[in-house]
Amino acid sequence: MAGSDITQIKVGDISVGIIGLKRLMDEMAGTHADKPDEEIVSVMLERLGKDNYIPGKAKESYAKAFLREFRKFLGRPYADEAPAGLEIKVLGVGCPQCHALTQMVMEVLTELNLPASVDHVTDLKEIAGYGVAGSPALLVNRRVMAVGRVPPRDRVKKWLTEARAAM
C-alpha cells in the first residue's frame, strides 16, 4: 500500500487519515455505484479495515463516513454531519491564490477566535461536486461566498462573523 494514498475524512467530530480510500473508491465506482448502502458499507469496512484501525465502538461512525465519501466521490447527494463550529471549504487545485485564501481564512478565524473546520479541497472530482466553476472558491457552511477571486479580508471577516451569529 502506498503511503501517499492517505485521505483525511471526518469521522464524527474528528479528522482521520484513511489509507487506501481513494484507490478503493476508484475500484468500487464501476462495481458498486448502484449497490445498496449496506453492501457498499460492508465492502468498505472489510477492505479498509485491513490497513486501518477501526475501533469496534466507532464502526457505525466509520461506516457513515465511508458511505458519505463514496457518494461524494460519485458526485451523488450525501448527508454531511453538522460541524461543531463553522464549516469552511476553500476549493482550488493548489494555485497561489487558493493558498492565500486558505491562509487568510485561518488568520481571520484566529483573530475572531471562532471555532471552525477549514478544508482545502484540491480533488477535481470533489470540487465539481460543489457546482463551482472557478477557483479559488470559498464556501462557508455550504454556502458559496466567493468564486474566482480572493475576496477582501474585511469581507471574509464579515461573512464569518455573520455565519457564526446565524448558528
* Sequence spans of domains, the chain: 6-74, 86-165
For 62-99, the three-class secondary structure string (H helix, E strand, C coil) is HHHHHHHHHHHHHCCCCCCCCCCCEEEEEECCCCHHHH
Measured from the Cβ of residue 49, the count of other Cβ atoms closer than 10 Å reads 12
CB 124 within 8 A of CB 94: no
pLDDT score at 138: 96
Phi-psi region of 130 (alpha: psi -120 to 50; beta: other; left: phi over 0): alpha
pLDDT score at 83: 55
pLDDT score at 152: 97
CA 50 vs. chain centroid, Å, equals 23
> For 86-165, CATH number?
3.40.30.10
- Residuewise pLDDT in 10s, the chain (167 residues): 444 578 888 888 777 889 999 999 999 999 999 999 999 999 999 999 999 999 989 999 999 999 999 999 998 887 766 556 788 999 998 889 999 999 999 899 889 988 888 888 988 888 888 888 889 999 999 899 999 999 999 999 999 999 988 87
- Cis before 151 (ω within 30): no
